[in-house]
């Protein structure tokens, strides 16, 4: 089978080229660059849309979860941090209670 492939390659090499291949590489690279620029613009738009959608979804979930899960006074970060402040390493090392 490799003899058949070699024979076909020899026949192909012996035939004259029907098109000039001088500018082939430059043409291919220009098309790749054009596609890359279009792709980058679309990718940026999609990433921005996904980010905004995720933020809006997170805010909506947080709002609805906060309404039903816990009362309003417990939603403060200060209350949450003060509950465990006695367990902080800095407080424990200083001998605090």
Tens digits of residue pLDDT in 13-50: 888 877 777 788 888 888 888 877 776 777 888 899 99
Residue 31, token pair as written in the block: 């098309």
Is residue 43 included in any domain, yes or no? yes
| Domain presence at residue 87 | yes
**DSSP 8-state assignment for residue 60:** H
Number of domains in the chain: 1
With respect to residue 14, please indicate whether it lies within any of the assigned structural domains: no
Computed on alpha carbons and rounded to an integer, the radius of gyration of the chain in Å comes to 34
Asked whether residue 4 is assigned to any structural domain, the reply reads: no
Residue at 7 is within a domain: no
Q: Given this model, what pLDDT does residue 37 score?
A: 72
Is 51 contained in some domain?
yes
Band the pLDDT of 90: cuts 50, 70, 90: low
Q: What residues make up the domain containing 83?
A: 23-93
């Amino acid at each position: 089978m490799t003899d058949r492939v070699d024979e076909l390659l020899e026949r192909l090499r012996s035939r004259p080229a029907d098109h000039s291949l001088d500018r082939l590489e430059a043409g291919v690279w220009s098309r790749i660059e054009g596609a890359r620029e279009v792709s980058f613009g679309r990718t940026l738009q999609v990433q921005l849309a996904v980010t905004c959608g995720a933020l809006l979804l997170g805010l909506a979930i947080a709002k609805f979860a906060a309404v039903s899960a816990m009362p309003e006074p417990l939603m403060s970060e200060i209350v949450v941090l003060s509950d465990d402040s006695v367990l902080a390493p800095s407080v424990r090392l200083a001998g605090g209670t």
